[in-house]
Amino acid sequence: MATMYCNLCKRPVDARRQIGVGTLLLVLITGGLWLFLIPFYSKRCSICKSTALSKTGSANLADKTIIISSNQTSGTKKAVNKSKVVPRLLSLIIIGVLLFLGVKGFQFINEASRPLSTSTTQTTKQTVTTQEKQVAAPAKTEKLPAIDEKKALRSDNYFGNYTNPAIKKGSGTAQLKVWQPYLDYYRKLAETSPLFKSFINGPQQLSVQYDEIWIHKNEADDIGKLYWKDDKIQAYTSEKFYESNPVNHVTVNAHQITSIHGRNSILTEITKKK
């Protein structure tokens, strides 16, 4: 707080910056960034709340302020301090930028969290159907070098640490499929940035026969599974824990498959390091 001369009150007064409800709201909206602009606020008279203040009194006020007549009949005059114009313009520009960024950020979050429309769902179903047909078609088998697959996957950590995995014995057929809400969510994000396409690359469903499954859970609670048949690797799946559906936010609290690797993909990855 400082003592300055008020041109309207014609007396020395306490001059200070006024912080009201509007300032508090702007601090909340901008996440606290507005606090850096408070030092740019104009000091006001504690009596009349005007900014017609000077440090040296009325004798030098003419050099520092412009007196504007606001009401000819009443003869009331207001003083506008020239030195306050630049900070005010700067404040307005920053307000505009912050509001623009806030609106854009809100739109992005709203779009990302909004359930998919009917037309988008239909398009997604058509895409999945096409991909299922592609998966059903016989894949070309690449000629890969003969290796001890179990030994190779125990020593290679690309698909996880399987040095001492939990082993489930028993024959069967597994219908592996990437969780549909996971695909829908990242397809939606891929519309805003191509970077998200990498999250849904690869096969999205696979049918394998097995007589043994290796299971590994890492520190992040992700589960990796290796499916075996006659000591030959058949498939790998990665499962992540979801508390809720990322599309409609319904509670899930379960592990869901988010990626699948077939036999050729696994062998190509571990043999190229040999």
DSSP string across 199-221:
GG-S-SEEEEEEEEEEEEE-TTS
Per-residue pLDDT at 70 exceeds 50: no
Is residue 134 domain-shared with residue 24, that is, in the same domain?
no
Largest CA distance in the chain: 102
CA–CA gap between residue 142 and residue 160 (Å, rounded): 24
Is residue 75 domain-shared with residue 125, that is, in the same domain?
no
Is residue 70 domain-shared with residue 8, that is, in the same domain?
yes
Is residue 201 domain-shared with residue 142, that is, in the same domain?
yes
What size, in residues, is the chain?
Answer: 274
CB 214, CB 225: distance < 8 Å: yes
Is residue 30 domain-shared with residue 48, that is, in the same domain?
yes
Per-residue pLDDT at 244 exceeds 80: yes
Q: How confident is the model at residue 87 (pLDDT cuts 50, 70, 90)?
A: low
Is residue 157 domain-shared with residue 83, that is, in the same domain?
no
Is residue 104 domain-shared with residue 125, that is, in the same domain?
no
Tokens representing 108 are 């992005």
Per-residue pLDDT at 65 exceeds 70: no
Nearest C-alpha neighbor of 178 from the set 206, 198, 159 = 206
Is residue 73 domain-shared with residue 151, that is, in the same domain?
no
Is residue 204 domain-shared with residue 224, that is, in the same domain?
yes
Predicted pLDDT at 29:
79
End-of-domain residue from the set 64, 88, 113: 113
Predicted pLDDT at 258:
93
Predicted pLDDT at 214:
95
Tokens representing 233 are 């690797």
The edge-to-edge listing of strands for the beta sheet with 223-229 is 166-177, 205-217, 223-229, 232-244, 251-262
End-of-domain residue from the set 113, 144, 162: 113
Is residue 126 domain-shared with residue 260, that is, in the same domain?
yes
Q: Look at 20-29, 33-42, 52-61, 192-201 and tell me which has the smallest mean pLDDT.
A: 52-61
Q: Which residue has the higher pLDDT, 48 or 274?
A: 48
Per-residue pLDDT at 69 exceeds 70: no
Place of tokens 């379960």: 254
Backbone torsions φ then ψ of 273, nearest 5 degrees: -90, -10
Average pLDDT for the chain: 75
Q: What is the pTM of this model?
A: 0.49
CB 184, CB 247: distance < 8 Å: yes
Place of tokens 């396409």: 197
User: What's the structural domain count of the chain?
Assistant: 2
Nearest C-alpha neighbor of 132 from the set 242, 241, 260, 232 = 260
Is residue 124 domain-shared with residue 109, that is, in the same domain?
no
Query: To the nearest whole percent, how much of the chain has pLDDT over 90?
Result: 29
End-of-domain residue from the set 113, 138, 160: 113
Is residue 58 domain-shared with residue 156, that is, in the same domain?
no
How much is the average pLDDT of 88-95?
70
Strands (E), the chain: 2-6, 11-17, 43-45, 53-54, 65-71, 76-81, 166-177, 205-217, 223-229, 232-244, 251-262
Domain that holds residue 97: 2-113
